[in-house]
Amino acid sequence: MGVLMSRRQTVEKVQKVSLAVSAFKDGLREQPSTRRRAEAGGTRRGTLEQAVQEGEEEASAGSSQPEESSASKAAWERLRDGRGVEPEEFDRANRFTPPAFIRPKRELHDDEPPDIRLEQREQVINDEMCEICEVWTAESLFPCRICSRVYHDGCLRRMGYLQNDSAVEVTETAHTETGWSCYYCDNLNLLLTEEEMYSLMETLRHCKIIPETCLTLDDFLHYKHLVHKQQFEQPMAEAQEEQAALQFSALDPDKKGHIEWHDFLSHESIQLLQQLRPQNALLRLLTAKERERARAAFLALDQDSDGFIGEGECRRARHSWFRKHQKETPSCNVSISHVGPMSESSPASSGSGRSQGKTPPAGEPEEARPVDWPGFLRENVAYILAARPNSAARHLHPAA
């Protein structure tokens, strides 16, 4: 106990010094940063079309071009560093310094098959101390459902990652089977290496996508057409455009007519991972909690315990990773913490615009192909990763 209290006192002293230094620095640049946030705030809330129109108007006026350029540059820097959109209203005088995200690097053995055995269960234990302040206070810690990190709600607020509208959701879900993703796991863009992020930023610049803006359906389809033509040097087919429209609907579950920047960036990040990395490399991104959920899902589907499931069962399992978004769904037999097959009569199997009519019934030819445990992981890994964000959007639209 003596060691614990000594460490806690040391941490508290470091925090006080850090807050004092941060407050002093913020006082020096408070007025310029406030002006930049005010200028960038309207762009974030507007759509891409509105942002472009405002930029053209300001360019023609010629008076505020330097300020707009500064705001745009700051947005690109946040995108490059993986910081996301900064809160518009934030108590900068009483805050913790946000972490400096370090993007991962590819290793030589990443392409080799990882040793993930079905029969070898993994013991998942959460950290004992808050990731931010490194202080242990037991029940008040909020665990991440993806990694082993835990957090204080007060620390999350002082970091700017927990606002008033999201505090209730975190409180209600962090200790439930649904769970809550921390700011590391919620941001799929942080999975990209520096090289991959540079490639994505070049694509966004080429397609004239402005960071931190919302995208309408027309914006999204126009972007997809440009990306497809850039990659394949031919126009996008009608069937592919329909798939893009379905993906837009999956990213806009509330039918607001636009998709948020965070959801668009997560979708593009997971798409880029699928394009540039082999499935073995994606499997290495799974955490112990995600591997355990995948085991529970496969074992629940493998009712005869022969080590194989049907192709249709494997395909329908992709939908089950997104069941955490079905807020109107009553309690089910298998929760998101132990993802398993969904009953065809359950509310989750028909919700969120999903078409049951397209799901082939048991007995059709595609049901005949057996899928073993390694194949199940390879075919579902992208959907498991795409289900990490707390957003209600589905960042990969599973085929029915």
pLDDT in tens, the chain (400 residues): 344 444 445 555 555 555 544 544 554 444 444 344 444 444 444 676 666 566 555 545 554 444 556 777 888 887 887 776 555 544 555 566 666 788 989 888 888 989 999 988 888 899 989 988 888 876 678 899 999 999 988 888 888 777 666 667 777 788 787 889 998 999 999 999 999 999 999 999 999 999 889 999 999 999 999 999 988 889 999 999 999 999 999 999 999 999 999 999 999 999 999 999 999 999 999 999 999 999 999 999 988 888 899 888 888 888 877 765 444 333 333 333 333 333 333 333 333 333 333 344 444 444 468 899 999 999 999 999 999 999 889 999 877 6
| Among 319, 315, 318, 311, CA closest to 364 | 311
pLDDT for 362 equals: 42
Q: Take residue 307 and report the two structure tokens written for it.
A: 């080590």
- Given phi > 0 = left and psi -120 to 50 = alpha, else beta, which region is 82? left
| Among 312, 288, 301, 325, CA closest to 364 | 312
The residue to which tokens 């029969």 are assigned? 119
pLDDT for 345 equals: 33
pLDDT for 34 equals: 39
Q: Which residues contact residue 93 at a Cβ distance below 8 angstroms, ignoring those fewer than 6 apart?
A: 23, 26
pLDDT for 327 equals: 43
- CA distances 97 to 16, 151, 157, 159, 166, Å, are 12, 15, 12, 7, 20
Q: Take residue 129 and report the two structure tokens written for it.
A: 């101390």
Long-range contacts of 333-336 (CB under 8 A, 24+ apart): 334/296, 334/297, 334/300, 335/177, 335/178, 336/145, 336/177, 336/178, 336/179, 336/293
Do 212 and 75 contact (CB within 8 A), yes or no?
A: yes
pLDDT for 93 equals: 53
- Given phi > 0 = left and psi -120 to 50 = alpha, else beta, which region is 362? beta
pLDDT for 280 equals: 92
The residue to which tokens 């074992």 are assigned? 299
Do 339 and 293 contact (CB within 8 A), yes or no?
A: yes
Q: Which residues contact residue 293 at a Cβ distance below 8 angstroms, ignoring those fewer than 6 apart?
A: 336, 337, 338, 339, 384
